[in-house]
Structure 1
Amino acid sequence: MQGRWPVGGRLPTEAELAQTYAVGVNTVRRAVDLLVEEGLVRRRQGSGTFVTASVAAGAKPRLIGVLVPSNTYYFPQVVQGIERAATAAGVQLVLACSNYDPDVEPAQIQQLVDVGVSGLLLVPNLHLAADPDAHLARLRELPVPYVLVERRPADPRPADPTSYVCTDVHGGGYAAVQHLSRLGRSRIGYLGRLGTASSEQVFAGYRQAIADLGLPEIPEAVARQPVWTGTDMLAYANSLVTEKVRAVVCLGDREATTLLPYLRRVGLTVPDDIAVVAYDDEVADLSEVPLTAVSPPKAEVGRMATELLLRRIELGPVAPVCRVVLQPRLAVRASCGAASGSLVEVRVPM
């Protein structure tokens, strides 16, 4: 026995420790009690005592774990921000991907803990979990510090201990409508997906802006579906003609890009007849008409989340809970008719 255990590792029993180090059981118990008070180990009823921190005071962690739901869309830029911050701090990453499957997350997180990471950056699939609150409660039992990335409790209770760094998605939906209104587009529709992590917040931002700015509500021009087919797109484009809609906010880039040829089929030109703003800014600039898009600060989210996690590791149990929300920007391109090639600050009324 070397007297060293990895983060997440189970300590020998008090009797075994007493025998190994030739001391009384009461002495071992008092020592373990001190470790519990310092947050270095945690007792689990019926399971034993487990290591919660392996970093000595003042020492730098050498390894952190990162769990994302996709390594192809949106999150590669977040990971780039994480990598830059980790490299600057001399820390290495262990990366895992859940592929939007909440059932595999516990095993993946446990594997990250088992390799000895000092902390975790997590993008849990809260929107897909049967019980998001229970999902978050399980995370609070982790033996290492963690920070949520682009996720946060939907309705946190007072004194909720969850730290996170995320984009103001609601504000992004609001800003898209606000921008179109300033361009003189008063009849604004909405096309989006259902069931994504951002779908409810973007739509809520759209609806609040319509109300705040006194714009007309057009139920026939508001459509949200889990999946969009060509038939659906054509029917929606025809409804825009019927309702004399002058602009559309789309979640996300793919849906906006798919809509463009159907607008052309029903005789609408972009941006002369109708303006289009997308949310995501992943492939918006590659569309046949480059799309104005709400652009989340993905790399900056990753960077700030990493720095927050490293700070939490350094401070240990006394680290304050931090909740960081970053405003997105609006990347202005040809699809809205405004001067393109600029980034506009999002300013949402409080």
Structure 2
Amino acid sequence: MREPVDARRTRILAVVHARGAVKVSALASELEVSMVTLRRDVEELARTGMLRRGHGVVRPMGDTGPTTVPAARGDEPVGEGAAVGLVVPERHSYLYETLHGARTALEEAGARITLHIAPQMAGAERPQVERALAAGVHGLLIAPRWRSAAGEEADYGWLAEVGVPTVMMERRPRPGSVLHAMDTVCSDHWYGIHLAVDHLISLGHRRLVLAARNDSPTARSIRAAFAEIAAARPEVEEWSVVLSSPNAGPGEPGTLEEAPDLTAHLRERGVTGAVLHGDEDALMLVQRLTENGIGVPRDCSVVAYDDVVAALASTSLTAVAPPRAEIGRAAAELLLYRLGRPTGTTGPVRRTELLPRLEVRGSTRALLRPAD
């Protein structure tokens, strides 16, 4: 049976008056209520003058002591009021939604957030992390840009020596690397591509193409997954992977990749089903196809990958939607879990994957046979 609000608030007041000063996180655990519920109760009790609240702590009204709890040290857990650094690349709308999910979870837990934006250049994350550490953060949430596999490998060494609990968002370091034992929370992009390919096959499409970026770990995962899945499906007669636009590659020495004319590519190979990554490139490619007489979905069904703005196209694009905000929230909750445990009791490393979903819209339909 659900506990009445008045009874729960009476219990809160009893604990606070008995202890003098109580951390909000400890109070929620002791009373077995969620942080969201407890914060709502505490705010109402403070508004009506029944207790005092500060940053991460509540006190009786007659207690004039400091309104913050000293930072944990030694083997004490750090959680409520902890400083957390968020490091993300600039101009990255996909990861900004992930950032929003992380921020929401951290704010609900009373953590203090410092945001650091890494410029679009190789190695830009390291100075931002060093600034965050110098400012005294207790833990890090990070999503390096990693435009190329070589750039990714170059960051492994120093990231392994950060020295504070760290969780990577939407990044999965190479198996067996020094970062294999770092907590990560990612979308399962293999499953996302499986959803896209399976959807096109179910509609009768047998000649497929992936037009994708190649300048991020997500893009590289999508490309590898498409090649594996398309090659393994006996229904697929022909498949190919091409660059989605001339500026969608890493742009580093030795990484040059030609971006073909997608209209000509589709016509030459008889492609009727396409997966396009990411959303902005997908919108531009669909416009180009339409301008060149290839109708979507009349002549070619299209599935976008990202679903940030896919629904805004003149023909709303069917899209794979990774759980961006949920990735950020899960990463933040994992970091808070680490920060809330005494030193030396962190437990096993976690490599968490969340499944994307497929949003079916107007850009895909069953393949029309000549008799149709």
Q: TM-score, normalised by structure 1?
A: 0.74
1:160-213 CA distances to partner (integer Å, 9 max, x unpaired)? Answer: 321110111222222211111112212111212222322221112212221222
Moved more, 104-113 or 193-202: 193-202
Aligned to 1:335: 363
Aligned to 1:208: 228
Cα distance in structure 1, aligned partners of 2:314 and 2:185? 33
Aligned to 1:223: 242
Q: Is the 2:242–2:260 Cα contact (8 Å) retained in structure 1?
A: no
Cα distance in structure 2, aligned partners of 1:215 and 1:318? 50
Q: 1:57 to 1:173 in 2, by over 3 A?
A: same
Instruction: Name which of 272, 279, 285 aligns with 1:253.
Output: 279
Q: 1:82, CA displacement in angstroms?
A: 0.8
Aligned to 1:40: none
Q: 1:54, CA displacement in angstroms?
A: 4.3
Matches within 5 A, 1:246-325: 246-315=272-341, 316-319=343-346, 320-325=348-353
Q: Is the 2:274–2:300 Cα contact (8 Å) retained in structure 1?
A: yes
Cα distance in structure 2, aligned partners of 1:158 and 1:103? 17
Q: 1:60 to 1:190 in 2, by over 3 A?
A: closer
Q: Is the 1:55–1:61 Cα contact (8 Å) retained in structure 2?
A: no
Moved more, 66-75 or 124-133: 124-133
Q: Provide the secondary structure at the position in 1 that maps to 2:344.
A: helix
Moved more, 301-310 or 155-164: 155-164
* RMSD between superposed Cα atoms in Å: 2.5
Residue type at the aligned position of 2:353? V
| Structure 2 residue ranges without an equivalent (≥5) | 1-71, 249-257, 367-372
Q: Provide the secondary structure at the position in 2 that maps to 1:198.
A: helix
Residue type at the aligned position of 1:322? R
Cα distance in structure 2, aligned partners of 1:128 and 1:61? 37
Residue type at the aligned position of 1:223? V
Q: Provide the secondary structure at the position in 1 that maps to 2:243.
A: strand
Residue type at the aligned position of 1:317? G
Cα distance in structure 2, aligned partners of 1:268 and 1:322? 46
Instruction: Name which of 119, 123, 134 aligns with 1:103.
Output: 123
1:13-67 CA distances to partner (integer Å, 9 max, x unpaired)? Answer: xxxxxxxxxxxxxxxxxxxxxxxxxxxxxxxxxxxxxxxx847624534210000
Aligned to 1:60: 79
Q: Provide the secondary structure at the position in 2 that maps to 1:101.
A: coil
Residue type at the aligned position of 1:148? M
Residue type at the aligned position of 1:112? A
Q: 1:72 to 1:123 in 2, by over 3 A?
A: closer
Q: Provide the secondary structure at the position in 2 that maps to 1:191.
A: strand
The share of aligned pairs that are identical, in percent, is 33
Q: Is the 2:80–2:109 Cα contact (8 Å) retained in structure 1?
A: no
